[in-house]
Structure 1
Amino acid sequence: MRASNANVSYQDLKKVCDFYFERRPSRGGDHETYKTPWRGDPRVNIQNRNGKAKPYQVNQVLAAIDKLLLEGK
């Protein structure tokens, strides 16, 4: 994922998010929303674009995971 954020499958990113974050109820559509543990109810959103995750969303997920690991959560 870090080597090529433009070539990450949506399903792979979804599995990573399911592992690290709490999935929020979806209102349909082609995206998933995940709650992160920080104050202010920040969320991570991912969206399916022809079977791939959007590159900027991959970056957001990786940044949130890095923050989690730094905080020891």
Structure 2
Amino acid sequence: MNKKKIYEQLKINPKNVRFEALCKAAELFGFRFRGGKGSHRIYVRDGVREMLNFQNVKGKAKPYQVKQLLNVVEKYKLLEEENV
């Protein structure tokens, strides 16, 4: 799936996003897994000041964390980049 389609799916329903889908979306937008403890995963990207911290709660991502990814994508115009 392309970035635009993933972005739109996350934006339409941020309350019902699987944790693994959010992690894959972050990687699609160029973030890399930096580590984490327990149910948390931290993603970073060169050129992006913010770190993304995702938490797995019964297989789902927290809605505010989905919105954080969407906000970073908008702020840094990551939708405009070429698909790699």
Runs of 4+ off more than 3 Å = none
Unmatched tracts of structure 2, length 5 or more = 1-9
Relative to the length of structure 1, the TM-score reads 0.80
User: For residues 74 and 24 of structure 2, what CA distance do their matches in structure 1 show?
Assistant: 16
The offset of 1:14, in angstroms, is 0.7
Residues 11-68 of structure 1: CA distance to partner in whole angstroms, max 9, x if unpaired? 1101011222122122x30111011323xx5201111111110000000001111123
Partner of 1:56: 64
Partner of 1:23: 33
Relative to the length of structure 2, the TM-score reads 0.71
Q: Indicate which of 7, 13, 17 corresponds to 1:8.
A: 17
Unmatched tracts of structure 1, length 5 or more = none
Partner of 1:33: 42
User: For residues 34 and 66 of structure 2, what CA distance do their matches in structure 1 show?
Assistant: 18
TM-align CA RMSD: 2.0
